[in-house]
Amino acid sequence: MFYPFELEKYLEDLLPPRDELLLEMESVSLEETIPVVTPTVGNFLELMVEISGARDILEIGTAIGYSTVYLARGAKKTGGKVLTVDMNKDRAERASRYLERAELGELVEIHSENALKYLPQVKKSYDFIFVDAAKGEYPEYLDLISPLVASGGLLVVDNVLFRGWVVPGSVYDSKYEKMVSAMRGFLDRLYHLPGFKVSILPFGDGLAIARKY
């Protein structure tokens, strides 16, 4: 993490206590090294769905459904629904079971397919799109997703600061070079997308939030 771990922990400690289900999902993701959003990011996602009043929500990268629970809790308040996509069938099935346990199953449709194949077939637009899948594919997602954001809608993207390594001159293992340069390219394109206004929030691993006008 590029900003003090203590700061993220402090922000996390300010949050209301998380229920047993979210805590169980956090332990599972830690034990199995399945990357999921931090609780501060989850809280932000739920709040943003609520504030924006989003009803049609799309998530790319479900994993076991941790961030989906937050999105769906927001959707419950707006009368909305979540469609979430993950190419890993086992994770998608586990997410489905967690969402049933969270009593959110009816609000969430899980699609197990490669987003790069699935997105070109999507015909409707979404009020809120959350992207948290393969970092090296972010530039491709942007091309496919930007036309799907409804006018006035939001695009939120996780890990955009990628441990701070997007900053020129950062030192990191060469195996990350492809992902770092994809993320830099993604940010450059996002900031220049016509019709979008963008801001970056540096908590978690860095979140981009973009509004389409």
Which positions lie near ligand SAM, rule CB under 6 A? 35-37, 61, 63, 66-67, 85-88, 91, 114-116, 132-134, 137
Under a CB-based contact definition with an 8 Å cutoff, are residues 66 and 36 in contact? yes
Task: Report, in Å, the least distance between residue 83 CB and ligand SAM.
Answer: 12
DSSP state of 19: P
Distance (Å, whole) CA 63 – CA 95: 7
Task: Report, in Å, the least distance between residue 205 CB and ligand SAM.
Answer: 10
Strand ordering across the sheet containing 149-158: 108-111, 81-85, 56-60, 126-131, 149-158, 207-212, 196-201
Nearer to ligand SAM, 20 or 171 (CB): 20
Nearer to ligand SAM, 61 or 153 (CB): 61
- Nearest Cα neighbor of 160 from 140, 180, 146 is 180
> Which residues, listed in sequence order, are joined to residue 158 by a DSSP beta bridge?
207
Nearer to ligand SAM, 63 or 208 (CB): 63
Nearer to ligand SAM, 60 or 149 (CB): 60
Nearer to ligand SAM, 127 or 205 (CB): 205
Task: Report, in Å, the least distance between residue 204 CB and ligand SAM.
Answer: 10
Nearer to ligand SAM, 93 or 106 (CB): 93
Between the CA atoms of 34, 143, 155 and 40, what dihedral angle is there, to the nearest 10 degrees? 20
- AA letter at 7: L
Task: Report, in Å, the least distance between residue 194 CB and ligand SAM.
Answer: 25
For the CA atoms of the chain, what is the radius of gyration? 16
Distance (Å, whole) CA 180 – CA 159: 11
Task: Report, in Å, the least distance between residue 90 CB and ligand SAM.
Answer: 9
Task: Report, in Å, the least distance between residue 57 CB and ligand SAM.
Answer: 13
